[in-house]
């Protein structure tokens, strides 16, 4: 990936050069990461309209949730931090 693209994803994903399908997916993952209780059926319907089937929605949800979980575990244990 080019550095500009990665920076855009890190700082403001809405400015990253994404396809419309990728944008719907990334918006969903960001919402899930920030507050999973805000995810609704409307979000799942948006993913379906973008071309994702139920299996893909489950996979997106599981992968994002796993990364959120493992990053919190690593943060809590100080993995990757000095001192």
Give the DSSP per-residue string, 16-47. S---HHHHHHHHHHHHHHH-GGG--HHHHHHH
Number of domains in the chain: 1
Contact 30, 13 (CB under 8 A): yes
Structure tokens at 55: 């299996």
As a whole number of angstroms, the distance between CA 25 and CA 46 comes to 9
* pLDDT number for residue 51: 98
Residue 83 lies inside a defined structural domain of this protein: no
Residue 67 lies inside a defined structural domain of this protein: yes
What is the pTM assigned to this prediction? 0.87
Domain CATH code at residue 19: 1.20.1290.10
* pLDDT number for residue 28: 98
As a whole number of angstroms, the distance between CA 4 and CA 25 comes to 20
pLDDT along the chain (83 residues), means of 10: 86 92 97 96 98 98 97 93 71
* pLDDT number for residue 82: 76
* pLDDT number for residue 10: 87
């Amino acid at each position: 990936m080019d550095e500009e693209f990665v920076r855009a994803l890190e700082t403001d994903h809405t400015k990253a050069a994404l396809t419309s399908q990728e944008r719907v997916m990334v918006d969903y993952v960001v919402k899930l990461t920030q507050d999973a209780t805000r995810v609704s059926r409307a979000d799942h319907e948006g993913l379906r309209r973008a071309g994702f089937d139920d299996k893909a929605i489950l996979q997106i949800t599981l992968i994002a949730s796993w990364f959120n979980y493992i990053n919190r575990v690593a943060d809590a244990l100080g993995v990757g931090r000095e001192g």
